[in-house]
């Protein structure tokens, strides 16, 4: 059983990892990264991309013929400031 100090240290460590990830800006984010940053599930974020609620592009994932959604840093910032785009 872990002591209270160990539990608190683990919690602090995980919060630091989250802060560092937020500080590191990337040019493009994969769905899992975008979902973690905006606090939504990857499924929800994929649906937003598919429905045009978030501007995204399909790119090769390196797993054969399969592609994955990628979202630009500019679009992440736009979403954080303005929210979802209207349905067309």
Domain boundaries along the sequence of the chain: 26-82
CA–CA separation, 4 and 84 (whole Å): 41
Closest CA to 84 of 42, 58, 60, 49: 49
pTM above 0.85, yes or no: no
pLDDT exceeds cutoff 70 at 35: yes
Please write the tens of the pLDDT for every residue from 45-85.
999 999 999 999 999 877 777 889 999 999 999 999 999 99
Helix (H) or strand (E) holding 72: strand 66-72
User: b/e map of 30-50 (b: 16 or more CB within 10 Å)?
Assistant: bbebbbbbbeeeeeebbebbe
Containing 60, the helix (H) or strand (E) segment is: strand 57-63
Of the CATH numbers 1.10.150.120, 3.40.50.1980, 2.120.10.70, 1.10.1660.10, which one belongs to the domain with range 26-82? 1.10.1660.10
Using pLDDT thresholds of 50, 70 and 90, give the confidence band for residue 1.
low
Given a cut of 90, whether residue 20 has pLDDT beyond it is no
Q: Check residue 42 and give its pLDDT.
A: 97
């Amino acid at each position: 059983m872990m002591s209270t100090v160990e539990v608190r240290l683990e919690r602090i460590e995980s919060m630091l990892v989250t802060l560092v990830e937020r500080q590191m800006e990337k040019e493009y984010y994969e769905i899992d990264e975008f979902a973690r940053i905006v606090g939504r599930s990857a499924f929800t974020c994929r649906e937003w991309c598919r429905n045009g609620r978030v501007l995204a592009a399909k790119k090769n994932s390196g797993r054969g013929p399969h592609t994955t959604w990628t979202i630009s840093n500019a679009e992440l910032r736009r979403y954080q400031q303005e929210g979802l785009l209207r349905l067309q």
